[in-house]
Each structure stands twice: as structure tokens, then as C-alpha cells.
Amino acid sequence: MFKFAKILPLAFFVLLLSACSSVQLDDANSVATVNAGGSSGYDPINDPKSSVYGKRSIYFEFDSYTIDPKYASIISAHAGYLKAFQKQKAAVIIQGNTDDRGTAEYNLALGQRRSEAVKRALMNQGVSESQLEAVSFGKEKPANPAQTEAAFKENRRADFVYQ
């Protein structure tokens, strides 16, 4: 027990030093960058110029879970991202949502069908099912709480939420 008590502070010190070695200062502008052990390459999810940045929702017609063909490019862009970053374990939760008309049970089921439709579309483009999770919030997470047709349209959606 006594030897363990002497070794523990030394082990903690070594661990602390090794953690600090992954922080690197950029001399050009004195900004610290942290390497978390993964690839530090280009990440289109966070690039405002990429085809997937800011395009995180697929919208649906009333009482429908059919994906409008106008969203094909968004689905294709997300599929491309997920396939390109599969080794880095890129994954997405697809959250199905509805407007607040209808019962809670009906809207949960409809939201799930919407998220599953987007999941199938991604899988049809070669995305691994292990990278995808489809869930439903029904009417519980409205994007716009107003009671207008425009608000209802905003709430009938499936959102991409990257992990």
C-alpha cells in the first residue's frame, strides 16, 4: 500500500505532462490548437462554404413522409459526408418532427416514419446503417410555435443532428 501511495503522484504527473503535449501554439497568431488524437483534416459540416453546412432539415407536406425530390441534393451531400468520414465514426441522428395537429401518438408515429424515410434515402446512397439513428419527437420540438400555416410547414421536418 505504501509503494502505491508513492507511485500514484508520479503517475498523475506523467499523465498530466502527456496531456499537455497535444496542445500546440500557432506562432502566426498565438492561437492554441488541440489535437484530440483524430484527423485534423477538412470537416465540411463546419465549413460555411460546403454543400451540407446549414442544410440540416428535410421538410414534408401535411400528413406525409414522402421526401420531395427537391431535397435529393441535400440528402446526397450528407450521404457523401457520412461516407467520407465513416472511418472517423461520423454519425447522425435523424430527428422526425410534425406540426401540432393530431394526437401525440399519431404525431410520434408520423415523425418516426419521416426520420426512417430519410434514413432509408441515406442508406440507398451507400451510408452504413451503423452511422444512422432515426428518432421521433412528434410535435414536442416545434421550430416555430405559432399557429399559422407557415409555422406548421416549418415544423413538418426531419433534422440532421451530428454526433
At 5, is the pLDDT very low, low, confident or very high (cuts 50, 70, 90)? low
The neighbour count for residue 119, using CB atoms within 10 Å, is 21
Per-residue pLDDT, averaged over 35-62, amounts to 69
Q: What's the confidence (pLDDT) of residue 30?
A: 38
The answer to whether 135 and 163 have CB atoms below 8 angstroms apart is no
User: Which CATH number fits the domain that encloses residue 134?
Assistant: 3.30.1330.60
Domain extent at residue 99:
44-162
Residue 18 is assigned to a structural domain of this protein: no
Return contacts of 30-34, CB within 8 angstroms, 24+ apart: none
pTM of the model: 0.71
How many domains, in total, are found in the chain?
Answer: 1
Per-residue pLDDT, averaged over 42-60, amounts to 76
The answer to whether 110 and 63 have CB atoms below 8 angstroms apart is yes
Per-residue pLDDT, averaged over 31-48, amounts to 51
Residue 5 is assigned to a structural domain of this protein: no
The neighbour count for residue 142, using CB atoms within 10 Å, is 17
Residue 76 is assigned to a structural domain of this protein: yes
Q: Is the pLDDT confidence value at 76 over 70?
A: yes
Residue 135 is assigned to a structural domain of this protein: yes
Q: Is the pLDDT confidence value at 3 over 60?
A: no
Q: What's the confidence (pLDDT) of residue 100?
A: 95
pLDDT: which is higher, 25 or 131: 131
At 17, is the pLDDT very low, low, confident or very high (cuts 50, 70, 90)? very low
SS3 for 50-77, per residue?
A: CCCCCCCEEECCCCCCCCCHHHHHHHHH
Residue 142 is assigned to a structural domain of this protein: yes
The pairing of beta strand 132-138 with beta strand 92-97: parallel
The predicted-structure confidence for 87-117, as pLDDT tens digits, reads as follows: 888 899 999 999 999 999 999 999 999 999 9
Q: ∠ CA 24-26-28 to the nearest 5 degrees?
A: 170
Residue 63 is assigned to a structural domain of this protein: yes
Q: Is the pLDDT confidence value at 68 over 60?
A: yes
Q: Is the pLDDT confidence value at 25 over 90?
A: no
Round the average pLDDT of the chain to a whole number and report it: 81
Residue 10 is assigned to a structural domain of this protein: no
In angstroms, rounded to a whole number, what is the distance separating the alpha carbons of residues 56 and 44?
13
Residue 125 is assigned to a structural domain of this protein: yes
Q: What's the confidence (pLDDT) of residue 43?
A: 63
